[in-house]
Amino acid sequence: MLRFFVGSTLVLFAAILPTDVPADRWGLSDDNRSLLEQLSRPKEMTDEEKGRLEQETERFEQGLQNVRNVERMMDEKRASLAKIGLTFEISSFSGSRLLAACLIGETGKAYMYDPKKQATAQTTGFVDEGEFAKAAALAKSIGHSEWRPQQTGYDFGVVAWTVSFDARTTLLQISGDYLGALPDPRVRELVILIDGWCPNAQEIRSRDLPAFAGRFRP
């Protein structure tokens, strides 16, 4: 413990001492003077450490680029589905970063997006057209409504369910940093249908945090 305290003190001491003043001017013992001089000199990385850092940096940049590619794919698909007609979506975000999403459009398909996978490995699923027609009629009967969800905390991310048609998007339900649902009992039925169409809905919903998010109310 004493050794740790002395070492920590010297690290702090090294940080505040002028670098142009010789160590022997501060009245340190030979051992402490040697340690102080070592701490004052920047540690040069070995070739192995440099190589490992380069690999980690490259992996990080590749991962970041893959996230951008997946987000771009989803934006393009969302735009193309909007031209066809009505679109349902469940998506999870942390800040502005996409974590996972599922789009369902009148093509009778569900498009799943997961930035943890390569952009070329994103998957699709099929939607029963009878169910989709029922959901579309239900969504249009509800119409576009604005409402204010309740803020429950910070930095947990959000899971959101939306429906888009007639060049407008309506938030059906949200959880995480914000919590609530459009005040219409038919919304619950739409959310259940969306979840049933998306094989990755359970993973997306796993980021739903209302159980403890309320403890951090502003």
C-alpha to C-alpha distance for 152 and 85, rounded to whole angstroms: 33
Domain-by-domain residue ranges, the chain? Answer: 2-40, 75-216
Examine the pLDDT at 213 and tell me if it is beyond 50: no
Return mean pLDDT, the chain: 79
Residues 6+ apart with CB under 8 A from 4: none
**Residues 60-93: pLDDT tens digits?**
888 889 889 999 999 999 999 999 989 999 999 8
pTM comes to 0.70
**Secondary structure element (H or E) that encloses residue 138, with its range:** helix 129-142
Q: What is the DSSP code (8-state) at residue 167?
A: T
Strand order across the 109-113 sheet:
123-126, 109-113, 97-104, 87-94, 158-165, 168-176, 178-181, 150-151
Examine the pLDDT at 147 and tell me if it is beyond 80: yes
* Beta pairing class for 168-176 and 97-104: unpaired
Examine the pLDDT at 177 and tell me if it is beyond 50: yes
